[in-house]
Amino acid sequence: MRIEMTLAVEAFPIAGRFVISRGAKTEARVVTATLRAGDAVGRGECVPYARYGESVESVNATIESIRGDIEAGAGRAALQRLLPAGAARNAVDCAMWDLEAKLTGRRAWRTAGFERLVPLVTAYTLSVGTPEEMRAAALKAADRPLLKIKLAGEGDEARLAAVREGAPHARLIVDANEAWREETLVAQLDACARFGVSLVEQPLPAGQDEMLARVARPIPVCADESAHETASLAALQGRYDAVNIKLDKTGGLTEALLMAEAAGRMGFEIMAGCMVGTSLAMAPASLIGQMAAFVDLDGPLLLAKDREPGLVYEGSTMAPPPPQLWG
């Protein structure tokens, strides 16, 4: 079957600024892959991430390097061999899932082995800022059941206290984005326990996280930057209790499903995560959300404007994706 592929770089403004320990941004720049076979159209979106050496230019070039294979009809299995894990493969892989659904009339989640999809409660992310800024943000989001707090290292205990004051009843996830250091790790984990945090994401830099195997972890610790695809899981045992599975890291839904199954067998809890993108990126990730103890698919909630049609969110509850959007 002959396929026609088009690529587009799109920008979606963020509502305000999205700030983590590594910096801030005011828009989400995404690469969208569109595959056409006759009247059927499949789409996939990725968010290139500079932390992993990616840009929209490099992702476009990577996908273009296999245009001939894709347009000649290479499938998802071949794609895993043609491209490494990462954002480029994610856009094409998710577009392939969507195109297959449009061609066959069979929803992608059924092909993936799910009998049905249930609505998901997602975390809502609060950017890192001063304690006063974070308390105000927490107060505005206090009715959401699960908040994810971005932290930055020095001053984090005051930030935690401020958020807990602003949202006394919400469950909390903390995401340090590799900003903590060994000499303060124990004290910071203890502070999180005191403030009732449910999960801590990636406290130490990837590749420098050996200490996690040597200290008591009073609350579960989740690997993010240290966890990319199935092959990365073995090195995480003993250091982490959970893994954050993001399609932009695994290189698409195909590998993400395999990674989630393997993580479960190895005793890890699963977190379904995302970069800041649109509903088109969240839709395939919602399948991983069905397998997850923690869901963080709030990308569209952080945008000033999502693509249409988009996912339906009622507060923090995300409905399954409609077929017009994806899958």
CATH number, domain of 31, equals: 3.30.390.10
Final residue of a domain: which of 76, 106, 136?
Answer: 106
Find the domain containing 227 and state its range. Answer: 120-318
- Residue 159 resides in a domain: yes
- Residue 217 resides in a domain: yes
Mean pLDDT score, 189-205: 97
Q: Give the pLDDT confidence of 61-107 residue by residue, as tens digits.
A: 999 999 999 999 999 999 999 999 999 999 999 999 999 999 999 99
User: What's the mean pLDDT when you consider all of the chain?
Assistant: 96
Q: How confident is the model at residue 255 (pLDDT cuts 50, 70, 90)?
A: very high
User: Is there a single domain that holds both residue 101 and residue 126?
Assistant: no
- Residue 77 resides in a domain: yes
User: Is there a single domain that holds both residue 95 and residue 189?
Assistant: no
Q: How confident is the model at residue 206 (pLDDT cuts 50, 70, 90)?
A: very high
- Residue 323 resides in a domain: no
pLDDT computed for residue 2 by the predictor: 87
**Residue 25 designated active-site:** no
Mean pLDDT score, 211-239: 97
Residue recorded with tokens 């069905």: 290
User: Is there a single domain that holds both residue 90 and residue 160?
Assistant: no
Answer whether residue 292 shows pLDDT above 80.
yes
User: Is there a single domain that holds both residue 160 and residue 57?
Assistant: no
- Residue 290 resides in a domain: yes
Q: How confident is the model at residue 291 (pLDDT cuts 50, 70, 90)?
A: very high
Q: Give the pLDDT confidence of 33-52 residue by residue, as tens digits.
A: 999 999 999 999 999 999 99
Q: What is the pTM of this model?
A: 0.96
Q: Give the pLDDT confidence of 256-282 residue by residue, as tens digits.
A: 999 999 999 999 999 999 999 999 999
pLDDT computed for residue 76 by the predictor: 97
Q: Which among 228, 177, 184, 203 has a CA at the least distance from the CA of 22?
A: 177
Number of other CB atoms surrounding residue 63 within 10 Å: 22
Q: How many domains does the chain have?
A: 2
Q: What percent of the chain has pLDDT over 90?
A: 96
What pairing do the DSSP bridges indicate for beta strands 4-20 and 23-37?
antiparallel
Q: Which among 310, 209, 102, 294 has a CA at the least distance from the CA of 321?
A: 310
What pairing do the DSSP bridges indicate for beta strands 124-126 and 146-150?
parallel
User: Is there a single domain that holds both residue 26 and residue 84?
Assistant: yes
pLDDT computed for residue 25 by the predictor: 82
User: Is there a single domain that holds both residue 102 and residue 223?
Assistant: no
Query: Which residue intervals of 195-252 are DSSP H helices?
Result: 247-250
Q: Which CATH number characterizes residue 190's domain?
A: 3.20.20.120
User: Is there a single domain that holds both residue 17 and residue 43?
Assistant: yes
Final residue of a domain: which of 49, 75, 106?
Answer: 106
Answer whether residue 24 shows pLDDT above 80.
no
- Residue 148 resides in a domain: yes
- Residue 114 resides in a domain: no
Answer whether residue 151 shows pLDDT above 80.
yes
Mean pLDDT score, 130-144: 97
User: Is there a single domain that holds both residue 231 and residue 304?
Assistant: yes
For residue 219, which amino acid is it? Answer: I
Answer whether residue 19 shows pLDDT above 90.
no
Q: Quick check: 50 and 112 in contact, CB under 8 A? A: no
Mean pLDDT score, 117-121: 98
User: Is there a single domain that holds both residue 151 and residue 217?
Assistant: yes
Final residue of a domain: which of 81, 106, 131?
Answer: 106
Candidate list 102, 246, 249, 305, residue with the active-site label: 246
Rounded CA separation 198/175 (Å): 11
**Residue 246 designated active-site:** yes
Candidate list 102, 148, 150, 249, residue with the active-site label: 150
* DSSP-derived secondary structure for 26-77: EEEEEEEEEEEETTEEEEEEE---GGGT--HHHHHHHHHTTHHHHHTT--HH
User: Is there a single domain that holds both residue 158 and residue 77?
Assistant: no
For residue 291, which amino acid is it? Answer: M
- Residue 156 resides in a domain: yes
**Is the bond preceding 309 in cis, omega lying within 30 degrees of 0?**
yes
User: Is there a single domain that holds both residue 168 and residue 266?
Assistant: yes
Greater confidence (9 vs 16) lies with 9
User: Is there a single domain that holds both residue 168 and residue 298?
Assistant: yes
